Amino acid sequence: MSASEVSAAERRDWLRLARTETVGPVTFTQLLRRFGSPARALDALPELARRGGRMTPPRIPSPAEAEREIEAGERLGARLLIGAEPAFPPMLAALDPPPPVIWVMGDPALLQRRAIAVVGARIASAAGQRFARDLARAAGAEGLVVVSGMARGVDGAAHEGALETGTVAVLGGGIDDIYPPEHAGLYQRLAERGAIVSESAPGQRAQAKDFPRRNRLISGLSLAVVVVEAELRSGSLITARLAAEQGRDVLAVPGSPLDPRAKGTNDLIRQGAALCEGIEDVLRAIEHAPRLREPGPSPYDPAGFEEPDAALVERIAALLSPTPTPRDELVRSTGAPAPRVYAALMELALAGRAELLAGGLVASGDLS
């Protein structure tokens, strides 16, 4: 598929594959690398799932369902971006694996610029909110876009501070899921003067399982993540962990040991995060970060796969556990060629018996 020429049918099939049951970002990427187009991957998918041990094929959205999602998003004024087109954000395209599709409302050009994320507690102190607002304003003055999650507290303050210079909100639900409700005004200003991003279908309300995906996009769009306030069991710490896994810089604002909202940030510093007292610390952290360039090789470029036999599929299934294991460890354990092991894992994933994770890891799944 040419990155510069995506037909309406290819866009629809790309969305159908992305929304197919048991197809996550890793499986999506491997299917594209194996079959070269979403149409061919969709045709092959039921048989691959059957070979992986699934009795009934995974649910694949119909062309009409995909068209309805596209029409619903466009009625809202949003645009669907797929990973095969140049407008797809280069920072997200560089992730392993990239999100297959995103919805964007507002100015998509903001997603092409250098950005930092500012995140933190929902029930934030007045001082924490002021710091986030001032830091976002200072980042904007340095030409940086500010990314956050439109939540209460620190997130909202960061967006407000960067509205004049460029800010992006990443949502857990669909592009029209305004949460919290009191941020309806902020949402409107973001749609008019910033950008709103979501992996979810329009009309979908955010569930707990959607927030790790949202946090992955927040860190993925950013050169660095600054955590302003966070308790020890905070979603902001998940964003920080994802940022570190993605090779992004992590900074944390220190706070009083008497404030529970400082325990998470102080612990990040204890673990090696850079201390952040202002924009100078952020600029120092990203000083050597690469400038956004033309994207390198596509993550969907063809790769070698070898057809596995049923015995190898079952042998690999028996080696899996809930604890994530490197794929290469399975290659060593089975002695089978890596392309054959990877193909077997794809079949198990489509059957719901394996979960392919970022970083080349795999865990067991529940048979659907």
Which regions of the chain are under pLDDT 70? 1-5, 290-296, 366-368
How much is the pLDDT for 358? 87
Fold of 106-193+206-285: Rossmann fold (3.40.50)
Checking phi first, is residue 203 left (phi over 0); if not, alpha (psi -120 to 50) or beta? left
Residue pair 67/94 in contact (Cβ under 8 Å)? The answer is: no
In whole angstroms, give the CA distance from residue 111 to residue 115. 8
Per-domain boundaries in the chain: 8-104, 106-193+206-285, 310-363
Q: Is the bond leading into 260 cis (omega within 30 degrees of zero)?
A: no
State how far the Cα of 76 lies from the Cα of 81, in Å rounded to an integer. 15
Q: Tell me the three state secondary structure of residue 297.
A: coil
Query: Which tokens sit at 64?
Result: 């009409």
> Residue 346: what pLDDT?
93
Amino acid present at 347:
E
For tokens 């499986």, the residue is 27
Q: How many CB atoms lie within 10 A of CB 213?
A: 18
Architecture of domain 310-363: Orthogonal Bundle (1.10)
Does the pTM exceed 0.85?
yes
For 113-151, how does the pLDDT look when each residue is reduced to its tens digit (9 = 90+)?
999 999 999 999 999 999 999 999 999 999 999 999 999
CA distance 152 to 103: 22
Give the pLDDT score at 294. Answer: 52
**DSSP class per residue in 188-215:** HHHHHHSEEEESSPTTPPP-TTHHHHHH
Q: Order across the sheet with 195-198: list the strands.
A: 78-82, 101-106, 195-198, 167-171, 145-148, 115-119, 224-227, 249-252, 274-275
By the 8 A CB rule, do 49 and 41 touch? no
Q: Could you give the CA distance from residue 147 to residue 76 in angstroms, rounded to a whole number?
A: 22
Written as six digits, the tokens of 198 are 């979501």
Q: Could you read off the pLDDT of 40-74 as tens digits, one per residue?
A: 999 999 999 999 999 999 999 999 999 999 999 99
How many residues in total does the chain contain?
A: 368
**Whose CA is closest to 190, among 204, 178, 205, 172?**
178
In this structure, are strands 274-275 and 249-252 parallel, antiparallel, or unpaired?
parallel
State residue 298's pLDDT score.
78
Which tokens is 178 given?
Answer: 């305004």
Amino acid 296: pLDDT: 62
